[in-house]
Amino acid sequence: MASSAGSEPPQQPIFRAVASSTKQIYQLLKCISFTTKVHVRITQDGIRFTADHARVMQGVAFLDRSLFTSYALVTQSDEASDLPQFQMNLAALLEALQIFGATDQAAKAAKAESESYRSNLRNYRPDAFNHQALGMSGTCCIMYEADGSPLSIILEETGLKTRCNMTTYTPESPDEIPFDRDDLSFKIIMQARWLLDALSELAPMAPARFTITASPNAPYLSLSSGGGLGGASVDFSSGRELLEVFSVHDRWVQSFKFDFVKSATEAMRIANRVSFRGDGQGVLSLQFMVEVEGGAVSFLDFRFVPYVTQEDNETESDDGDV
């Protein structure tokens, strides 16, 4: 963290938002903490945080302006080039938010993560966005004074004010993993906890790969894993009690690195629903809907690039001989 210095700050910052609780913000950002740095873009609708891992996995947490009691952004226009954007250290931001009373909750989460994979299942989902659980009565102000300035987190509680100035960096916007919404092979919507439970069944085998099979016929959705200790699979029927939306055009089979998909378990834990989508090029999209206090809704998006399977390599070789 670096303190701002030098000339007086401008009278009106580019961006200023105030929240009565940091709980929702902390939990949403924690879902994409699989990388250290994140790309931040501030829009009139909210703040978009993008985490990227070698362009094979991306996670996006969008903090809707409805999470804040006040939200003000001053820009020349709503064009992407005119919107404030920068990179910053996500770990530092999460640490700053913990100062505002999230320490107990963070300690609980850390304890759960240090235990076995199964012990993490919905450990604290029922009160994931319970303001009363933290007993907080203060405010949190997020401020970005000017291009290149630090991002300031100002926490005030019972007359005590704490300010954290976090260094921002020249934005290097990661290339978005392409996902073709016009070429969807399948779309399935289910409760997020079903996906979390399925991963917990597959994890004890220490798998390296996670394979998704979506088919218009039984088994309609199959999640399987394989590794040095063996393999396992979980099948879902097409009933609406499990799969609220089920649309599969053709059989779709792709494998992904298990640890990457497991990185999204925090989102599975706090979300209400998840939308599974796969496109024609094999990219997997997981979009999580999270209901927060006051009836507001936030979204978490993850995209994964598939493995190149042995079958694909053999097919390419056969095509080359024709």
What does the domain layout of the chain look like in residue ranges?
Answer: 15-169, 181-321
Count of other CB atoms within 10 angstroms of residue 4: 14
Of 167, 145, 149, 166, nearest to 10 (Cα)? 145
- Edge-to-edge order in the sheet of strand 151-157: 70-73, 15-19, 139-144, 151-157, 160-166
By CB atoms closer than 10 A (0-12, 13-18, 19+), residue 177 is: middle
Please give the C-alpha separations between residue 194 and each of 30, 177, 248, 267, in angstroms, as whole numbers: 21, 26, 19, 13
CB-based contact 206:232 (threshold 8 Å): no
Of 28, 4, 25, 148, nearest to 88 (Cα)? 148
CATH architecture, domain 15-169 = Box (3.70)
| Distance separating alpha carbons of residues 253 and 255, to the nearest angstrom | 7
Which pTM value belongs to this model?
0.82
Count of other CB atoms within 10 angstroms of residue 97: 25
CB-based contact 290:280 (threshold 8 Å): no
The torsion angles phi and psi of 15, rounded to 5 degrees, stand at -145, 140
Please report the pLDDT score of residue 82 as a whole number: 87
Of 190, 153, 119, 196, nearest to 26 (Cα)? 153
User: Which of 3.40.190.150, 3.40.309.10, 3.70.10.10, 1.20.140.10 is the CATH number of 181-321?
Assistant: 3.70.10.10
* Common-topology check for domains 15-169 and 181-321: yes
Of 177, 194, 191, 125, nearest to 284 (Cα)? 177
Q: With left for phi above 0 and alpha for psi between -120 and 50, is residue 202 left, alpha or beta?
A: alpha
| Distance separating alpha carbons of residues 137 and 205, to the nearest angstrom | 45
Tell me the pLDDT of the chain (322 aa) as tens digits: 544 454 554 468 999 999 988 888 999 999 999 999 999 999 999 999 999 998 999 999 999 999 999 999 998 887 888 899 999 999 999 998 887 654 444 444 554 554 444 444 444 444 444 444 444 457 899 999 999 999 999 988 777 888 999 999 988 767 899 999 999 999 999 999 999 999 999 999 889 999 999 999 988 999 999 888 889 999 998 887 889 999 999 899 999 999 999 999 999 999 999 999 999 999 999 999 999 877 778 999 999 999 874 344 444 444 444 3
Please report the pLDDT score of residue 109 as a whole number: 52
